[in-house]
A and B are shown apart, each in its own frame.
Chain A
Amino acid sequence: MTLIFAAGIAAIMGCGIYMLLSRHTMRILLGVMLMSAGVNLVIFLAGRIGPNPPPLIETGAYTLVADAANPLPQALVLTAIVIGFSLVAFAAALALQTFRTSGTLDQRDLGSAEALGSPYDKEAGK
């Protein structure tokens, strides 16, 4: 079971890295999203996935039943999903704004930051 999960996560991460190496900003972002999904699955797997009862406390009881699923990784994954979502939303908005100002999302054409005070520029400044 764990091996199947590990193989799946490895596949997702591989796709993520492939996308990350692209030149197009949106594809890079998609790669980041894939990788963050893979990382979330790793945390989930770290909590030992198996046919366990859900981590709910019965009425009248104070503790979880024996071999219940571990609730902590689920809380961690939830936090990570929310944070990752907000970051990707910001990055997508950033890409949109970049497209509006520069007219391209190709990393080869986005060189405004490097051009600022470049030592190779014969004319001083930009």
Chain B
Amino acid sequence: MKIGENLINKVKEKIAISDVYRQPEDQITITVDRNDLPEAVRILYYDLGGWLSSMVPNDERQINGNYTLYYILSMEGGKMTPDDEIVKEDKCWITVKTYIPANDPTYPSVTLKVPAAVWYEREAFDMFGLTAVGLPDPRRLMVSDDWPEGLFPLRKDSMDYRHRPNPVDHKDEPEHEFIKPEGAGVLDVPLGPLHITSDEPGHFRLYCDGDTIIDADYRLFYQHRGMEKLAENRMNYDQMGYLAERVCGICGYAHSIACIEAAEKAIGLEIPLRAQAMRVICLEIERLHSHLLNIGLACEVTGNVNAFMHIFRIREFSMELAQLVTGGRKTYGNVVVGGLRRDMTGNEIKQSLKILETIETQTNEVWDAVMDDKNQIKRWKGVGILDKQVARDFSAVGPNVRGSGFKRDSRYDHPYDFLTQLDFDIPTEDGCDVFARETVRYKELLQSVSIIRQCFEMMPGGLTVIKPQTLIKPQAFAIGNDEAPRGENIHWIMHGNAQKVYRWRCRAATYNNWPSLRYQFRGNTIADAALIVCSLDPCYSCTERVTVVDVKSNKSKILTHKDLKRYSQSLKNHPLKNL
């Protein structure tokens, strides 16, 4: 029996499936009628234990005259209880595909049944003009508020990638509508347009009753760069990996690996073992680097600058490690289709093992010291609670979901590259709060160190790169996945003609975490707002202002980046005092 056959049979009992396509073996695409779409996704999501990983709208009018939607589900079990998990051999990807006729671009909304699809369906309208009928939140998500109506950038016939619609004067710009809670009065505290922890754009609006946040809303994507459009129009496969790296400043390597692996899987290309091991090493170096950054920032936001400095001192070692492995202080510019560009020497491996030891001992030391600090723990515990059910409904990823007790990791559920031969744990915590997430990160750091060490010890010989002899197959598509520091990255590639990509869908880890952030804000104080956003480890360039609103007096105040950070660190001089 093939992988996932029994899952498909269960879907077949209730819904007519017109086509089953496998490429590769553990990635199954089933085609259903568009009216059956919400039910099919619901069965796979809640009844059979799937998680919504991505949704790809595609303009296939040149191929079959229709628009298509691909709902990518990762079948790994609900994981609400320990025995609620699918056995390792049966874990697979199931993609629900549906055709939407070009003359009637509407489809029934899946969000009503599976809340995780909300951002994806809002994006499908922005980019392709595909309307989800019954979508509870049909506001714009990706394109700016002054974007002309009826111009959908990712349609093949809409516009040149060099074209930009004329900018609107700032005074004429339409205001973004925020969702407001009902109440006697609302105090509106805008936080932004710069973000409090990482100085990146994003507009948050916090609705407060006194000091307590009762609801939150946000407007992001001020930095949407249209990379997918750019890749479709002018990039070849040589350049695409390097473009994918530029998605994010920290987890860029994970993006390029996912992107290149999607392209490789679609044509069935196997890369040499040595390259596989080195890809895993680089991904884990990135995790060391990113987790140390986040733990450091979580200390700094609560005013513990001393610990922040120590953690950043250790972080410097991870950059030195990257320098030894790839030749740059970041792990960039290394991946090509068919393997890796750069090999390591024995001397470099020896030096790397030495640095790994320093990272391990010093991280343990600093973490022990932070754990001794009672004030620090007080600020972290019970803050920003991500409920188990909310995490399940919104398909959260990364340390965010592992801090809520789900053992959900791409390395464990869908192992890629060299990871099948390695021995490692996936640490989880049941606290659901900031403290649990930071603990998960700390434990993962130690796991990463052990993974890198194992890879160096087992390092297979041979080449690091093969020339891809297989030609690009037009219309072949596949999913590429990997575990970035923030969670699972999914890239979906459909090959086109002439060494170009027909459609590239890049889904960064933070994209899945944002919709559930609203629920994490509720019930916390304004002082913790910065910390909650920080514990999510947000990545603005992947996705990205804050308004605080008082529900009693109906007043609002815009807090600057400095104000909120100062209040979070000192807990003195309440920003809403003199309203």
Binding partners A and B? no
Residues of B that sit less than 8 Å from A by CB? none
Residues of A that sit less than 8 Å from B by CB? none
